[in-house]
């Protein structure tokens, strides 16, 4: 069934398909009994799927990764599709249009996507308004935070602090995005000095809040193991609660899509199948280095049930889907849930 839907959706450019899907999901809000029916059809409800991670109870370990519901428009509805958590954003203090279109491309031969969206979002105040309207929700919400593109890295801390403070009362945990390859020089914030200053500032700000909210860092798959070691050291020193591994890659290695097509698409972050191996390797490395004590949300190239299981076996506490969900469709979450329950994971 999804093959037909996907065939039709793939007739449109990727960003247009995304808008169509957003529209369809939004419409489910207005059809009586449909949310309930979807929930029944598309998910498994089983106590064994429940996970307690960084002090939060997740009904199951599968979430939607950042970048799909950038503006907090449908996160509550994604619960009906089986997701227990959704990461909204990346949110920046001010609204911004992102990079010129086209900026989102499918690589069908590789089951992959290249995007250079560039943090297009409605900005903090519009997003807070939506989160406030949807306080009554069944999903855990992560706030993925970033900086406006016009803000230089030297002033990044104040931008991250603005989104952090602004979203604090409305999300359940935070993900600090310093790994998006589509915003000029953003990934440089992953260097030891800048990352330490940024994370210290956020954690320090949290001390003044009444309620403790976990703060995670989202890392790039393009970091070397040495750089990951540095990041883990900073995470330990600053008291960060976990890692989201990984964002998209700038690598174009081993693709079936021709070099000419890749060149025509241009720069951007690659996600999906070509990322599977590297993300798994990084998740496994982090879990080993931290003896499983640091919660890891695994994301990147989870395209099959086996990919999901591999992430958990490598030590991930939770997983997030994006490209895999686009290619596999709404039945994918339930398939993973079924496999987890049948394997007692």
Ligand X SMILES: Cc1cc2nc3c(=O)[nH]c(=O)nc-3n(C[C@H](O)[C@H](O)[C@H](O)COP(=O)(O)O)c2cc1C
Residues that bind ligand X (CB under 6 A): 65-67, 70, 89-90, 104, 113, 115, 117, 144, 177, 180, 218, 247-248, 271-272, 275, 299-302, 321-324
- Between 35 and 286, whose beta carbon lies closer to ligand X? 286
Q: How far is the CB of 117 from ligand X (least distance, A)?
A: 5
- Of 161 and 178, the one with the shorter C-beta distance to ligand X is 178
DSSP letter, residue 100 = P
Question: Do residues 316 and 297 touch, judged by C-beta distance below 8 A?
Answer: yes
**CB 71, min distance to ligand X, A:** 10
Residue (of 249, 154, 237, 169) closest to 203 by Cα position: 237
In this complex, which beta carbon is closest to ligand X, that of residue 59 or of residue 182? 182
| Nearest approach, Cβ of residue 212 and ligand X (Å) | 23
Number of neighbouring beta carbons within 10 Å of residue 252: 17
Taking the complex as a whole, how short is the minimal distance between the CB of residue 97 and ligand X, in angstroms? 14
Pairing of the two strands 296-299 and 242-245: parallel
What is the spatial distance between Cα 138 and Cα 145, in angstroms, rounded to a whole number?
A: 22
Residue nearer to ligand X on the CB measure, 317 or 323: 323
> How far apart are the C-alpha atoms of 62 and 88, rounded to whole Å?
15
The distance of closest approach from Cβ of residue 205 to ligand X in the complex, given in angstroms and rounded to an integer, is 20
φ, ψ for residue 89 (rounded to 5)?
100, -170
- Where does 255-330 have alpha helices with state H? 259-265, 276-289, 305-313, 323-328
What are the DSSP E strand ranges found in the chain?
Answer: 51-53, 56-58, 62-64, 85-91, 104-107, 112-115, 140-145, 173-177, 215-219, 242-245, 269-272, 296-299, 318-321
Q: Which is nearer to ligand X, 35 or 63 (CB)?
A: 63
Q: For the CB of residue 299, give the shortest distance to ligand X in the complex, in Å.
A: 5
- Among candidates 231, 214, 127, which has minimal Cα distance to 179? 231
Provide the minimum distance between the beta carbon of 246 and ligand X in the complex, in angstroms, as a whole number: 6
Tell me the CA distances in angstroms from 13 to 70, 104, 149, 167, 328, one per residue in order: 19, 8, 25, 32, 18
Is the C-alpha dihedral spanning 221, 226, 227, 230 positive or negative?
Answer: positive
Which lies closer to ligand X via its Cβ, residue 35 or residue 65? 65
Query: Of 294 and 326, which has the nearer Cβ to ligand X?
Result: 326
CB of 107 to ligand X, least distance (A): 11
Residue (190 or 247) nearer to ligand X, CB: 247
- Residue facing ligand X at closest CB distance: 67
User: Checking phi first, is residue 133 left (phi over 0); if not, alpha (psi -120 to 50) or beta?
Assistant: alpha
Nearer to ligand X, 43 or 115 (CB): 115
Distance (Å, rounded) from C-alpha 245 to C-alpha 266?
24
User: Which DSSP letter does residue 78 get?
Assistant: G
Residue with tokens 């993900």: 175
Minimum distance between the CB of residue 30 and ligand X, rounded to whole angstroms?
26
C-alpha to C-alpha distance for 81 and 84, rounded to whole angstroms: 9
């Amino acid at each position: 069934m999804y093959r037909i839907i996907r065939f039709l959706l793939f007739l449109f450019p990727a960003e247009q398909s995304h808008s169509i899907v957003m529209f369809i999901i939004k419409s489910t809000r207005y059809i009586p009994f449909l949310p309930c029916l979807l929930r029944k059809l598309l998910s498994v409800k089983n106590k064994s799927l429940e996970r307690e991670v960084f002090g939060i109870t997740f009904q199951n370990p599968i979430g939607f990764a950042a970048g799909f519901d950038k503006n907090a428009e449908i996160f509550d509805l994604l619960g009906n599709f089986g997701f227990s958590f959704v990461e909204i954003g990346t949110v920046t203090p001010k609204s911004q249009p992102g990079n010129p279109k086209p900026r989102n491309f499918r690589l069908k031969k590789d089951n992959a996507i290249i995007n250079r969206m560039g943090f297009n979002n409605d900005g903090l105040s519009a997003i807070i308004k939506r989160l406030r309207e949807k306080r009554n929700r069944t999903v855990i919400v992560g706030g993925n935070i970033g900086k406006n593109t016009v803000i230089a890295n030297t002033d990044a801390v104040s931008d991250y602090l603005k989104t952090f403070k602004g979203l604090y009362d409305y999300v359940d945990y935070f993900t600090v995005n310093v790994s998006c390859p589509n915003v000029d020089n953003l990934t440089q914030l992953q260097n030891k000095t800048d990352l330490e200053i940024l994370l210290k500032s956020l954690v320090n700000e949290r001390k003044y809040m009444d309620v403790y909210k976990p703060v995670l860092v989202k890392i790039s798959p393009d970091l070397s193991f040495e750089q990951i070691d540095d990041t883990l050291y900073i995470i330990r020193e600053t008291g960060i609660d976990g890692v989201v591994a990984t964002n998209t890659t700038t690598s174009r290695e081993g693709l079936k899509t021709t070099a000419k097509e890749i060149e025509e698409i241009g720069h951007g972050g690659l996600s999906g199948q070509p990322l599977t191996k590297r993300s798994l390797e990084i998740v496994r490395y982090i879990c080993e280095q931290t003896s499983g004590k640091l919660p890891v949300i695994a994301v990147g190239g989870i395209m099959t049930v086996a990919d999901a299981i591999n992430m958990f076996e490598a030590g991930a506490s939770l997983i997030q889907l994006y490209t895999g969900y686009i290619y596999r469709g709404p039945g994918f979450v339930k398939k993973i849930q079924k496999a987890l329950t049948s394997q007692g994971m």
